[in-house]
Chains A and B, each alone.
Chain A
């Protein structure tokens, strides 16, 4: 038990907990994959494809929570618009999957997706060109969120917009995109979004193997992003980021251009969110403007707050737990979920300012006071 506590109490700079986490993540993933593919469906240990897809979805959310935590927990920038980057990455993947349908759509048009035929469009809009190439679509899935974050961050951080004002601006950003993507004329399927996907890289999205592969890929990406983020945040760059969070003007007066640091961290975070979106769409099979909704972005912040901001592991744990709770809760009492979520947020803010990871650290230091004192000195 104490080893578990020790494991979860991973401090924000300690590197020794990174590898155990990656090993656990990848082992659980491998076990789930094997039991889905090789155990008979009536076995007690069999993991259904439904569960695999659900787990894959959770891992995408974990990746997204990581993105929010990097910018909020480490740099103090509360972004309430990270859903926008997630959805943009998702739309890039959705566009690729749409083009893959080809002439198997309801209208049988080999070039135009169904909704364009329905709208009476004669040819593909310019921004849909190239999206039938997987590499190009994936490039867009990271480039578009990154570019948007760069422009937005450059404008906001250079003019030194901080705190609540910045949060409101990010909220407005995602809301504006929500409204824009709702319009049919935008060419992204309007209200219905993009759906009815058939296959990815020639593999059917309905087959178990594809679903398991997507889930395994998501876990792998999460592990890589986790390790890379850890490396970045424990470099001197990461120390500067913490310095900006705690005393930005001091950081400026010792010679750091804090706006540039914030912009690049914001871009990094947005790219992670974009990747999460691109992995999410083939697993859930749909992307629509609802992903841009401001409520989604606020939910992400709650995942991070519950898990413990300022710790990468906390963000992942928070995302997994809250989403698992959401799945169970909405099955029993769907209309009460938002109240539960709000209550959870209030509770965490009042009693657990450092989240679950903070709680474990606290328990640990209570249990072994001399040891922690020594390590602090």
Chain B
């Protein structure tokens, strides 16, 4: 008797009218940021052949924040970005985008479609195609095979590309092959490719490497103007640049968070001075001694 009851009960549960089966539920639901946190990185561990690249790392990024990540080489900055964007699988821990998107069971393309854009350390653009085509490819569109085959540019999309071309200062080079751009311009094009895709969260790895002082300044302006509407995480070695844009700085050391706070707090933090800024001043001293 109870067996029948159980069966009926489970049937009822299966066909509940107020619920949708998981495989039918729309997966591309909006990012839930009710708690004002857009990225949850909790207790993430990752080791390469015994080397602990990420060690019980916890990090929370608020929606609309501009966060700088700093740390010595091997502190795990780029590895963390790899984990967030799905390039590398972590050993344990959890990474959530908003409250409802578990990033650990998604691939790179799926994560990008959710609205997480990434700029690489070394600028990577499609060198054999024009600046315009590079931006066209990055537009926020349906990226399936068939839709891409039959899609045509709409006038709104062309306007969007034109806007971004103006923002990144490449409007005069739209039909130039991307491979012919200078290093700094490639960096800008890559940032433009992120912008045109209208992302919620931007992960930017060393944006000002190889840029002139003037270009660096403009990049700083651009990044600060993005924050608020979008969330931006910047990894950068250039301390001057970090100081000019940062509101909150997170220091990574040996795969975990060492300190978090404003630039002033960080600079006066004893631990940080010891492991990171200390190294730098030592380097300065040794350089001074050499010269």
Contacts and interface: CB of A to CB of B under 8 A. Distances in A.
A237 B133 CA distance: 12
A4 B177 CA distance: 26
B108 A253 contact: yes
Contacts of B193: 254
A247 B124 CA distance: 7
Interface in A197-239: 232, 235-237, 239
B111 to A, nearest CB: 8
Contacts of A252: 107-109, 112
Which 5 residue pairs of A and B lie closest in terms of their CB atoms, listed nearest first? A255-B112, A237-B149, A252-B108, A255-B113, A250-B124
Given A243-B126, A254-B112, A236 B151 contact: yes
Interface string B135-153: 0111000011100111100
A249 interface: yes
Contact of A236 (B112, B127, B149, B175): B149
A260 interface: yes
A228 B137 CA distance: 21
18 contacts: A236-B148, A239-B136, A242-B126, A242-B128, A242-B129, A243-B129, A246-B129, A247-B124, A247-B127, A249-B87, A249-B108, A255-B112, A256-B109, A256-B148, A257-B109, A257-B143, A264-B145, A376-B175
Nearest to A375: B175
B113 to A, nearest CB: 4
A233 to B, nearest CB: 11
Interface string B239-251: 0000000000000
B120 interface: yes
Contacts of A249: 87, 108, 124
Interface string B100-140: 00000001110011000110100011111100010011100
Interface string A173-209: 0000000000000000000000000000000000000
A243 to B, nearest CB: 5
A44 interface: no
Interface of B: 85, 87, 107-109, 112-113, 117-118, 120, 124-129, 133, 136-138, 143-145, 148-151, 175-177, 193, 197
A255 B197 contact: yes
A319 interface: no
Given A254-B137, A254-B138, A377 B109 contact: no
A240 interface: yes
Contacts of B85: 253
Given A239-B129, A254-B117, A260-B145, 12 more contacts: A235-B150, A236-B148, A239-B136, A243-B126, A243-B137, A246-B126, A247-B125, A250-B120, A254-B197, A255-B197, A256-B137, A257-B107
B126 A247 contact: yes
B80 to A, nearest CB: 15
Interface residues of A, number: 26
Contacts of B133: 239
Determine the main DSSP class of A at the interface with B: helix
A243 B193 CA distance: 13
A323 interface: no
A324 B228 CA distance: 66
Contacts of A232: 149
Contacts of A247: 124-127
Contacts of A250: 120, 124-126
A377 B148 CA distance: 27
Which of B112, B126, B177, B193: most chain A Cβ within 10 A?
Answer: B126
Nearest to B108: A252
A255 B143 contact: yes
Contacts of A253: 85, 108, 112, 117-118, 120
A261 interface: yes
Which of B107, B112, B144: most chain A Cβ within 10 A?
Answer: B112
A275 B145 CA distance: 23
A15 to B, nearest CB: 15
A253 B197 CA distance: 11
B131 to A, nearest CB: 12
B137 A240 contact: yes
B97 to A, nearest CB: 14
B190 to A, nearest CB: 8
B74 to A, nearest CB: 22
A235 B149 contact: yes
Contacts of A311: none
Nearest to B119: A253
Contact of B137 (A236, A376, A377): A236
Contacts of A376: 175-177
Nearest to B193: A254
Interface in A262-316: 264
A258 interface: yes
B143 A237 contact: no
Contacts of B136: 236, 239
A23 to B, nearest CB: 26
A237 B144 CA distance: 10
Contacts of B150: 235
A249 B121 CA distance: 13
A240 B150 CA distance: 13
A260 B148 CA distance: 12
B127 to A, nearest CB: 6
A243 B113 CA distance: 17
